[in-house]
Structure 1
């Protein structure tokens, strides 16, 4: 449920849905009904606009909206080629109409229909861009312009060679590379990464994606970090006394699983196993402090 608020003015979009879709049952009846709604004269429109502006009269806003619902239907028909339900496009266009009514200034000397066209289109455009792909296909101003114009221009061109691309770029006031990039985006489609596309695939596409671990930058970072850690560890070991260093190396820095036990080291240094454990604990604390420094 979407609202447009301005102080005490609240225009609820569900009102239109309940009033028409809920009672009429289908889009064709809705369109037929809104096309039969009365059109406001210029004086009526200005009077209602002043009433809304000064008193936040919800009834005035409602009359202005209802009289322009046919405009939303007309504009939304131009976007049926984007594979969206007409009812959804109308719903979004109605939101744009409500925003236009909220911001309409009767002192500007223009009709609400002329002013509302921009808001209706903007809302439909935003809906299409957000829902066309999983990843938003157009974000910049030039990309949005190309998204809604490239298809129409391509229908009038037999091929998209560089000469025609340059002509189109000049017409739309965009760069050649933007047209090529948008054409590439539009020609592609979303791919389900966990779906098997044919009987020859043993694994879905998601299993073929590389992980961060195999990325060259991550590998270099890991190697540099390991070298840094090794350098610091050697420095800390060199600051231990000979016995403490021997115990730490024999217990934790050996290969081939030939780790010395406490009893083996106790026999080597002629002390108890508990004494070896104490020396090891003190050595670790000292190394920890050295590594912090």
Structure 2
């Protein structure tokens, strides 16, 4: 189906007074089963954009009816309707009139899916439900709480049995739903008993990020300079420095061990080591 369906934006995006919007969408005529099937066939087989427009406009009142059922979440009704309208458009795009069902029965799942997604993203700053099972529990639990209020121990068991989940799942979701968002910014309230905003205590004063980066850069630079300086030494001096200072796998070699290896005196090895260290120091500090 083409995406260029010309529908008045005010019909899909409620603006201003909600009551005015509801009165407007109620002016679009409802379709009989025969009319709906004929329009569905035009859209499905011939990609008729005007047929899609009529199908959408005739079902906007149904979207508003579904959205009204989610008013208990404290979210703007206009936004709920707008999300539901998106679901309606997706349903119309996929509607097959040969399935033998009315569009309203097919579209309700798409409408609710979009509204559910909006509620879960906006009801709390921190998501209360992320998995499919948690989302199902979230909305089922909302319905149960409207009937039971705050849960007692026995009521938790009843709800768990009704929804086919564990008591732990019910208690955890109830806890998430009952949690309140806290402002990150500083509260201007001068009351000494007011809750301290997270902005005042979330900073880790024991860690200096800029200093860590500076130290890492210094260590990397020093390592590179040491590598370059070592490459400028003769092979024997390199071996002496590595054996005396850099090898980590083996124990530090003694002057006598190196003297025996190179067939020189221990004093000569000490002099070579001293000269090599001096050259390394000059190269690194340059």
Q: Deviations over 1:225-247 (max 9, x none)?
A: xxxxxx976557824858x9xxx
Shift of 1:276: 5.5
Q: CA RMSD in A?
A: 3.6
Q: CA deviation at 1:94?
A: 0.4
- Provide the residue aligned with 2:140 in structure 1: 149
| 1:17 paired residue among 3, 9, 12 | 9
Q: Which residue in the other structure is 1:108 paired with?
A: 99
Pair 1:82–1:275, CA change in 2 (3 A): closer
Q: 1:213 and 1:105, CA in 2 relative to 1: closer, same or farther beyond 3 A? A: farther
Give runs of aligned pairs for residues 251-290 of structure 1, distance below 5 A. Answer: 277-278=278-279, 280=281
Counterpart in the other structure of 1:96: 87
Mean alpha-carbon deviation: is it higher for 86-95 or for 169-178?
169-178
**Paired positions, count:** 232
Matches of residues 2-151 of structure 1 in structure 2 within 5 Å?
6=1, 9-10=2-3, 15-18=7-10, 25-151=16-142
How far does the alpha carbon of each residue in 1:164-214 deviate from its partner, in whole angstroms, 9 at most, with x for none?
111111112222111100110111111123324643579743443475979
Which of 157, 162, 171 is equivalent to 1:180?
171
Offset of 1:19 from its aligned partner? 5.3
TM-score by length of 2: 0.69
Question: Secondary structure in 1 aligned to 2:137?
Answer: helix
Distance 1:232 1:189 in 2: 57
Instruction: Write out per-residue CA displacement over residues 8-29 of structure 1, whole angstroms, 9 at most, x where no aligned residue.
Output: x1155x944245768x853211
Residue 225 of structure 2 is matched in structure 1 by: none
Please, which runs of 5 or more residues in structure 2 have no aligned partner?
208-244, 259-269
2:252, 2:134 → 1: CA distance?
61
Matched-pair contact (CA < 8 Å) for 1:93–1:120: yes
Bigger RCO (CA 8 Å, 6+ sep): 2
Deviations 1:92-129 (A, max 9, x none): 00000001101111111110011111111111110110
The verdict on how the C-alpha distance between 1:83 and 1:175 changes in structure 2, with shifts beyond 3 A counting, is: same
Q: Which residue of 1 aligns with 2:252?
A: 238
Cα deviations by residue, 1:56-113 (Å, 9 ceiling, x for unpaired): 1110100000000000011111111111111111110000000110111111111001
Matches of 1:236 and 1:115 in 2, distance apart?
Answer: 74
Pick closer, same or farther for the CA change 1:48–1:279 going to 2, 3 Å. Answer: closer
Cα gap change, 1:91 to 1:20, in 2 (>3 Å): closer
Query: Aligned to 2:157, which of 153, 161, 166?
Result: 166
Q: Is the 8 A contact 2:12 2:82 kept in 1?
A: no
User: Would the aligned equivalents of 1:92 and 1:127 in 2 still touch at CA under 8 Å?
Assistant: yes
Change (3 A) 1:142 1:111: same
TM-score where L is the length of structure 1: 0.67
Structure-2 change in CA distance of 1:270 and 1:102 (3 Å): closer
SS class of match (2:182): coil
Taking a change above 3 Å as real, the CA distance of residues 236 and 121 of structure 1, as seen in their structure-2 partners, is same
Relative distance call for 1:60 and 1:235 in structure 2 (3 A) is same
